[in-house]
Chain A
């Protein structure tokens, strides 16, 4: 059930680089959201910028009735958001899209996030750890300036490995380099990932080779957020179709898809 809620901004802080963490008092969303789902946030009361902006829910606390989103300033909408102050209200639609499977029966999970793709992962990691699943998180970031995010995942109880482009924290390079060095005995039972497409392509190739199932959250330019406009199309394998694929909506059939079924344009 989709609803609108007026979220009260409790905090909106820079966490380094161009990233911000916005905490919102949003009781309905906090009680309904599942890991991987997103909210569609109105960042302006005027016609410009016009569209809402979709953000995966980074973390939530049902008791405190709070949700947190992690976002990067990449355009006009997020620029306006970064200037919002605590005490202001923002209209949001929630809870939207599919969620990561957590009703699972396995021992070890690997969670991989790159850049903005870290956005949907903290709540997921918390849930996995709560279920007693040994969770390793691989985080890829541009710089160590956003190291506060590493703390978020450590506090959640995950083992964390970090790769930065500039080498300021962790290994220097891409987060997917960890995969190439994963030994057979360290093979996880399930992989979750979100990040730029080249990263997801590497994760998909690696997981296929290792026969590890998984799920990924993907991103596409979005309009309505409710499945009406068919803007956020992505290519997904489909047996209903002669050529083996169909366009699906990231906002309704996604953003979380099975790792195997997503077709990337390389």
Chain B
């Protein structure tokens, strides 16, 4: 049998395989370039950009927890202008779709970013981050209410022709309702999950392990929550779902796809295995071949659930 066709399209973002990197775990694509050719990726989502530079939160910014990590980076980034000046020229030379993750404190900030990034050539899409748990203003606040989420995405929609991915927070009761809302507002896809808000305390000093006190939990510990949310969301939206949350192996990636993810993103998994993305692409390919699947749609959403009377 021939190799399966791994191609996936997220709106107008055409990817050669369903594996992406998750924002904030991949820098601006330079961090892993010594270790493998980043052009193997389906797409690259770069570290979140804000309208103005942000210093980020005081350290410690990371704490290890059982099978996971808590982080509170606080969206440290050079701001959109410096990003365009310093990072985009290098990113443009890559043969891989580059998606820019963007955040702002205000809806006007999101509009401004979308407008500015729309003028820049060589970028394939925008991931609208309405889910960062580690900033005082904005961030997650935009993604916990279907109305506000709708407003942000619809206003960004007016500013750009580029595909929009809305990145959703799991810190809600009903993530599917937020997904439905951003789909209606014009999002081309949803990506989920961002991190789960958490906390860890050093029992000797009685101090929180993070400088920001609370932070976002990621890694294998959150995977079942993410799979459940992808499954719930995929059933109610007609746009692609990009699944992420604790993927460290091809088996994890396949599980997300069976739950309904058209594509997957590797985040924390990059830290333990710096070539995780490549291993996962190979693993998905081998799994599909072994199971006589010709294209990814033979796999996506094929969870088999027997109805219980």
Contact = CB atoms under 8 A, between A and B. Distances in A.
B25 interface: yes
Contacts of A228: 25-27, 31-32, 47, 270-271
Interface stretch (A45-53, A79-87, A125-133, A200-208): A45-53
Interface string B53-91: 001101111111011110101001000000000000000
Nearest to A225: B271
Most B C-beta atoms less than 10 A away, residue of A51, A93, A222, A246 = A51
A220 interface: yes
A66 to B, nearest CB: 23
Interface class of chain B by DSSP = loop
Given A3-B35, A226-B32, A226-B274, A232 B55 contact: no
Given A229-B25, A229-B71, A247-B55, A221 B60 contact: yes
A221 B31 contact: no
Interface in A189-209: none
A contacts with B: majority SS: loop
A229 B35 contact: no
Interface in A210-259: 220-234, 246-247
Interface residues of A, number: 29
Interface residues of B, number: 35
A1 interface: yes
A168 interface: no
B255 to A, nearest CB: 14
A42 B76 CA distance: 27
Contacts of A224: 25, 31, 270-271, 274
A179 interface: no
Contacts of A229: 24-25, 27, 62, 71, 73, 271
Given A3-B34, A228-B32, A223 B62 contact: yes
Contacts of B293: none
B71 A47 contact: no
Contact of A47 (B34, B62, B67): B67
B56 A47 contact: no
Contacts of A227: 27, 30-31
A231 B58 CA distance: 10
A4 B69 CA distance: 22
Contacts of B25: 224, 228-229
Contacts, number: 101
Contact of B271 (A1, A2, A51, A247): A51
A251 to B, nearest CB: 9
A50 B62 contact: no
B61 A221 contact: yes
Contacts of A221: 59-63
Contacts of B56: 230, 233, 247
A55 to B, nearest CB: 16
A47 B73 contact: no
A222 B248 CA distance: 19
Interface in A120-141: none
Interface string B215-259: 000011000000000000000000000000000100000000000
A31 to B, nearest CB: 16
Contacts of A230: 24, 47, 56, 61, 73, 76
A42 B272 contact: yes
Contacts of B31: 224, 226-228
Given A4-B274, A221-B59, A224-B25, A50 B71 contact: no
A231 B67 contact: no
Contacts of A42: 272
A247 B66 contact: no
A6 B278 CA distance: 18
B275 interface: yes
B109 to A, nearest CB: 21
Nearest to A44: B272
B268 interface: yes
A224 B220 CA distance: 16
B66 A48 contact: yes
Interface in A13-27: none
Given A51-B272, A223-B71, A4 B35 contact: yes
Given A220-B59, A223-B71, A50 B64 contact: yes
A93 B32 CA distance: 11
Nearest to A1: B34
Contacts of A247: 55-56, 59, 76
B274 to A, nearest CB: 6
A233 B55 CA distance: 10
A52 B34 contact: no
24 contacts: A3-B35, A4-B274, A47-B248, A47-B272, A48-B67, A50-B64, A50-B220, A51-B272, A220-B60, A221-B62, A223-B69, A224-B25, A224-B274, A227-B30, A228-B271, A229-B24, A229-B71, A229-B271, A230-B76, A231-B60, A233-B56, A233-B61, A234-B59, A246-B55
Given A1-B34, A221-B60, A233-B59, 11 more contacts: A3-B35, A4-B274, A47-B67, A50-B67, A51-B64, A220-B59, A228-B27, A230-B76, A233-B58, A233-B73, A247-B76
User: Nearest 10 A-B pairs (CB), nearest first?
Assistant: A228-B31, A231-B62, A228-B27, A47-B220, A2-B34, A226-B31, A48-B67, A47-B67, A221-B60, A224-B271
